[in-house]
Amino acid sequence: MLQKDLEEVKVLLEKATRKRVRDALTAEKSKIETEIKNKMQQKSQRKAELLDSEKPAAVVAPITTGYTVKISNYGWDQSDKFVKIYITLTGVHQVPTENVQVHFTERSFDLLVKNLNGKSYSMIVNNLLKPISVEGSSKKVKTDTVLILCRKKAENTRWDYLTQVEKECKEKEKPSYDTETDPSEGLMNVLKKIYEDGDDDMKRTINKAWVESREKQAKGDTEF
């Protein structure tokens, strides 16, 4: 569905001549391309994790550490004083304590687990939603789990998101229309708004581009 939206935007962009129309379509094109890229990365990541989980455990632990795996799966919750991040790593409780390192700053933390089943595991979280106390933050290693405890500088305050970036992304995803059922509605609303705000020339441009793009798709001439 996203690919078809992208193709249609490209067709309309080729036909559009008005700067305002082209700017709006270019922005929509970038948004759709980003969504497609994110979905492809998620698929690749899931595939890599699946392959990794299917590998048998090594009989003999290697002496040297192999490649570093970026940790992307985690859970988190909070109390009045702490934001708690849970990372599942099979066997992490069996490595030496010094192999599990966490570095905190006021708005970030990074975790490094060295030589766990021949690999290192890394997780870096920047731009935490709110400041934390470096001195009051810590880590705990439990069975197959690393628990990171970020001490809130402002106690009794609720974090709706873990990071500022997550907050901004979620707020941007709150449209004035429902895109859950039909992703193409986002494109339709962009064009509708341009059409409603535009003068007669702009309306003719959009009408012409829309008709031509539909005809081109009907003939199967859409370029990929």
Q: pLDDT tens across 136-166, in order?
A: 999 999 999 999 999 999 999 999 999 999 8
* 190 within a domain of the structure (yes/no): no
Q: Regarding predicted confidence, which is higher, 196 or 145?
A: 145
Question: Helix, strand, or coil here: 77?
Answer: strand
Which range among 17-21, 53-57, 163-167, 198-202 has the greatest average pLDDT? 163-167
Same domain? 155 vs 111: yes
Contact 115, 105 (CB under 8 A): no
Predicted confidence band of residue 47 (pLDDT cuts 50, 70, 90): confident
Predicted confidence band of residue 76 (pLDDT cuts 50, 70, 90): very high
Q: Is the pLDDT at 220 greater than 80, yes or no?
A: no
Q: Regarding predicted confidence, which is higher, 60 or 166?
A: 166
Residue 163: which of 113, 109, 121, 112 has the closest Cα? 109
- The residue range of the domain holding 132 is 68-168
Tell how strand 82-88 and strand 75-78 pair up. Answer: antiparallel
Amino acid at 7: E
Share of the chain above pLDDT 70, in %: 78
Predicted confidence band of residue 59 (pLDDT cuts 50, 70, 90): very low
* 186 within a domain of the structure (yes/no): no
Same domain? 33 vs 75: no
* 1 within a domain of the structure (yes/no): yes
User: What's the total number of domains in the chain?
Assistant: 2
* 180 within a domain of the structure (yes/no): no
Same domain? 84 vs 18: no
Distance of CA 122 to CAs 16, 114, 146, 170, Å? Answer: 47, 9, 12, 25
Regarding pTM above 0.75, the answer is no
* 84 within a domain of the structure (yes/no): yes
Same domain? 39 vs 94: no
Q: Which residues contact 57 (CB under 8 A, 6 or more apart)?
A: 117
Residue 32 sits in a domain whose CATH number is 4.10.860.10
